[in-house]
Amino acid sequence: MKTVLKSTVMAAAAFGLFAGASASADDLTVVSWGGAYTKSQVEAYQKPWMAKTGHNIRSEDYNGGIAEIKAQVEAGNVTWDIVDVELSDAVRACDEGLVIPIDPAELPAAPDGTPAVDDFIPGTLSECAVATIVWSTIYSYDASKIEGDKPTTIGDFFDTEKFPGKRGMRKSPKANLEFALLADGVPAGDIYEILASPEGVERAFKKLDTIKDSVVWWEAGAQPPQLLADGEVLMTTAYNGRIFNAAAGEDKPFEIVWDGQVWDIDLWVILEGAPNKDLAMDFLKFSTSTQALADQAKWISYGPARKSSAPLVGLYQDGKTEMGPQMPTAPANMKNAVQNNFEFWADHQDELNERFNAWLAG
């Protein structure tokens, strides 16, 4: 037994060495949304940055929201350095002191010398966050599964009589309430005004009620293309870049319906108490430069947040697909579009989440 014990302890110690060997304390931890989107960031930002600085990056996935950030900061156990968040979450995290303020003057200027403050699209710089992309929540369907008339409007998504079958939706009130009101006939410009009143919220949930039994809920951005491919749903809401990559990169017969798209921006934030704050800042400056932002558009159909990057955007990595028309901001796609109102969501997130969860469980 003694020998058994001894050898187990030795084995455990050996495992310990191996387990510890691969991670080092000064690796930068970059957290993003996983799948095709993280891949685009790895190709456009992380690989060049690692090559330039010689530092290592640990890439981690999450599903949005400030919950994990807050848990880390408030429990005093920060392991993430820099995180890709939505605007409303960036604003909230900033208010709650979870992320550090970032001075836009420190950001690199455009190649022609325009300071960053003027180069970024208005509204994409915030007190604690710097935007990288414009993205959108759209809905998509598998063209090979629908015969005859194809869905073209947001109303069709809610029409289970005309298009019988399951629907995929993100397990969050965000964007879903907007879709519901748009489908119920509210003009894009009035969405948030209506949603701010109790009657408006009531109306949106009533509309969601009509398809509740057909909905398959997803959480990770990688799930919707999967749900479509597996035939688990007929149509699903999704982030436009994921669908584009599945269609252009993997030849899936997925079509995007731009009508009623809800677009938003994604931004970098650096956590208060981040273990590698300086490296994170360096990475942030590097990845929000004109060239890096333009490079990212080669890998996924999200629009760069700098004006100076737009002319540099060319073809998809397959070398033939023009990226311009695939962007949420392309004029043809913007006809009936809603811009996510970050102030509304920062203020109402809590009660709408609570209500949404009660509604789901009921």
Partner 1 sequence: MATVSDHMTPGIGQVAVDAPLTAADGTPLRKKLAQANRRARLRATLLVAPLLLFVLITFIVPIGQMLVRSFHEPTFSEVLPRTTEALKQWDGADLPDEAVFAAFADDLKDAKENRTIGQVATRVNYAYAGSRSAFTSAARKSTGFEAPYKEALIAADDVWGERDLWAVMKRASKSYTPEFYLAAVDRTTDVDGNIVMVDDFRQIYVKILLRTLYLAGVITGLCLLLGYPVAFLLASLPTRTSNLLMILVLLPFWTSLLVRTTAWIALLQSQGIINDVLVAMWLIDDDSRLQMIYNQTGTIIAMTHILLPFSILPLFSVMKTIPPTYMRAARSLGATPWTAFWKIYVPQTVPGIAAGVLLVFILAVGYYITPALVGGQDGQLISNFIALHMQKTLNWSMAAALGGILLATIMVLYWLFNKIVGIDRLKLG
Partner 2 sequence: MSLPSYAGPLEKTWYYAFRVICGLILIFLIVPIIIVVPLSFNAEPYFTFTPGMLSFDPEAYSLRWYEDILRNGMAAPDAPHSWAWFTDLWNNAQWIRAMRNSFFIGISATIIATILGTLAALGLSRREMPYRALITSILISPMIVPVIITATGMFFFYASVGLASTYLGVILAHAALGIPFVIITVTATLTGFDQSLIRAANNLGADQTTTFFKVIMPLILPGMISGALFAFVTSFDEVVVVLFLADIEQRTIPRQMWSGIREQISPTILAVATILVIISIGLLTTVELLRRRSERLRGVTPS
Where do contacts with partner 2 occur on this chain (CB under 8 A)? 1, 5, 8-9, 11-12, 15-16, 18-23, 34-35, 58, 60-61, 71, 75-77, 79, 219-220, 222-223, 226, 230
- What residue 7 binds from partner 1, partner 2, none (CB within 5 to 8 A, per partner kind)? none
Contact 301, 243 (CB under 8 A): no
CB of 78 to partner 1, least distance (A): 16
Sign for the CA dihedral angle at 266, 87, 64, 355 comes to: negative
Provide the 8-state DSSP code for 99.
B
Taking CA 237 as the corner, what is the angle to CA 232 and CA 242, rounded to the nearest 5 degrees?
90
Task: Report the distance separating Cα 305 and Cα 300, nearest Å.
Answer: 14
CB of 15 or CB of 217, closer to partner 1 = 217
- What residue 11 binds from partner 2, partner 1, none (CB within 5 to 8 A, per partner kind)? partner 2
What are 193's two structure tokens? 């005004």
Positions in the binding site for partner 1 (CB under 8 A): 65-68, 70-71, 92, 94-98, 205, 216-217, 230-232, 343, 346-348, 350-351, 353-355, 357-362
Contact 361, 336 (CB under 8 A): no
CB of 133 or CB of 235, closer to partner 1 = 235
Residue 167: closest CA among 147, 140, 194: 140
CB of 15 or CB of 335, closer to partner 2 = 15
CB of 63 to partner 2, least distance (A): 8
Q: Residue 157: count other Cβ atoms within 10 Å of its Cβ.
A: 26
CB of 77 or CB of 331, closer to partner 2 = 77
CB of 16 or CB of 111, closer to partner 2 = 16
CB of 108 to partner 1, least distance (A): 26
CB of 130 to partner 2, least distance (A): 24
- What residue 76 binds from partner 2, partner 1, none (CB within 5 to 8 A, per partner kind)? partner 2
| Chain centre to alpha carbon of residue 327 | 15
Name 137's Cβ contacts closer than 8 Å, sequence gap at least 6.
Answer: 170, 175, 237, 238, 239, 240, 261, 262, 263, 264
CB of 157 to partner 2, least distance (A): 23
CB of 201 to partner 1, least distance (A): 9
CB of 48 or CB of 104, closer to partner 2 = 48
Task: Report the distance separating Cα 284 and Cα 121, nearest Å.
Answer: 17
End-to-end CA distance of the chain: 57
The torsion angles phi and psi of 74, rounded to 5 degrees, stand at -75, -30
- What residue 51 binds from partner 1, partner 2, none (CB within 5 to 8 A, per partner kind)? none
